[in-house]
Amino acid sequence: MTKITPGMMTPLAFKKGLIMGIANDSSIAWGCACAFRRFGAELAVTYLNEKSKNYVEPLAERLGSELLLPCDVREEGQLEAVFDAIKNRWGELDFVLHSIAFAPREDLHGRLTDSSRAGFMEAMDISCHSLIRTARMAEPLMKNGGSIFAMSYYGAEKVVEHYNLMGPVKAALEASVRYMAYELGGKGIRVHAISPGPIRTRAASGIDRFDELMENAASRAPIQRQVSIEDVGQATALLATDAAKLMTGDTLYIDGGLHVVG
């Protein structure tokens, strides 16, 4: 599937990217990784822990990845070790996909007003500040510029029922993207938030009444269909190409236009 053959459109040939956030073949990060690979990029892949390695390793093999590394962003030193390995193997990096989010179940299922301090901080640390640390470590490796992508959601902007504390966490993520786009732009490093419509994934299964949200989205979106991880992957891979080199700091919706309907 991901073998590179002559005549293929490979606008990311010779580019090197880091993919964070594959849990299984339903993950948005997997849809993105396949698209980056189809465009010719070489990929390093991370997995959360030994249990998830069982699912991620065969996928990394399908991508032909030469670097498969553990990375739980809560663990001191693991993110640093990922970037050390990339530095030693490649010496440079062209793009990073950060497709990671977490909130403790009890906090995610209650009102934001009732969220615990510890739960809010954990969600913010894993889902937002880890992007900031990732960008900081990517910066010296992006010697010829690069692009950094984070996954957001419309609940950052408007109240979406049952999205609860992830709303402000994603709002912080989108604001962080804008500030880092400003700070890193002089080095040719572009930073974007990608905002997909609802997709059935493991993380999404933690959100109350998610099936309803999905059905509702597909029926209300101008392009009346559900979003797939392939849709998100293709659009994100396009943004990593030189064709998009003057785009940065945006939140880009891949939601069939649902955000214009509100």
| Number of residues assigned to the chain | 262
Task: Say whether 69 sits in a helix, a strand or coil.
Answer: strand
The reply on whether position 204 binds ligand NAD by CB under 6 A is yes
Number of residues that bind ligand NAD (CB under 6 A): 26
17, 119, 167, 196: which one binds ligand NAD (CB under 6 A): 196
Q: For ligand NAD, which stretch binds (CB under 6 A), given 9-17, 22-30, 134-142, 238-246? A: 22-30
* CA distance linking residue 172 with residue 147, whole number of Å: 19
- Restricted to residues 69-88, the positions that interact with ligand NAD (CB under 6 A) are 71-74
41, 101, 123, 172: which one binds ligand NAD (CB under 6 A): 101
For residue 66, which of 39, 41, 95 has the smallest C-alpha distance? 41
The reply on whether position 45 binds ligand NAD by CB under 6 A is no
Helices 166-184 and 130-138: angle between axes, nearest 10 degrees: 20
User: Active-site residue numbers?
Assistant: 153, 163
| Alpha helices per DSSP H over 48-164 | 50-62, 78-89, 105-108, 117-124, 130-138
The reply on whether position 35 binds ligand NAD by CB under 6 A is no
User: CB count, 10 Å around CB of 241?
Assistant: 16
For residue 123, which of 150, 100, 103, 106 has the smallest C-alpha distance? 103
For residue 43, which of 100, 89, 75, 6 has the smallest C-alpha distance? 89
> How far is residue 245 from each of residues 1, 51, 187, 190, 249, measured CA to CA in Å?
28, 38, 12, 8, 12
Shortest reach from residue 4's CB to ligand NAD, in Å: 25
Q: For ligand NAD, which stretch binds (CB under 6 A), given 66-74, 81-89, 174-182, 183-191? A: 66-74
19, 28, 63, 93: which one binds ligand NAD (CB under 6 A): 28
Q: For ligand NAD, which stretch binds (CB under 6 A), given 81-89, 94-102, 177-185, 244-252? A: 94-102
Rg, C-alpha atoms of the chain? 17
The reply on whether position 147 binds ligand NAD by CB under 6 A is no
- Restricted to residues 219-248, the positions that interact with ligand NAD (CB under 6 A) are none
22, 63, 96, 258: which one binds ligand NAD (CB under 6 A): 22
* CA distance linking residue 18 with residue 29, whole number of Å: 10
Compare residues 87 and 133 and give the one whose CB is closer to ligand NAD. Answer: 133
Structure tokens at 201: 């994934």
21, 119, 167, 168: which one binds ligand NAD (CB under 6 A): 21
Question: What is the contact surface with ligand NAD in residues (CB under 6 A)?
Answer: 21-23, 27-29, 48, 52, 71-74, 99-102, 126, 151, 153, 196, 198-199, 201-204
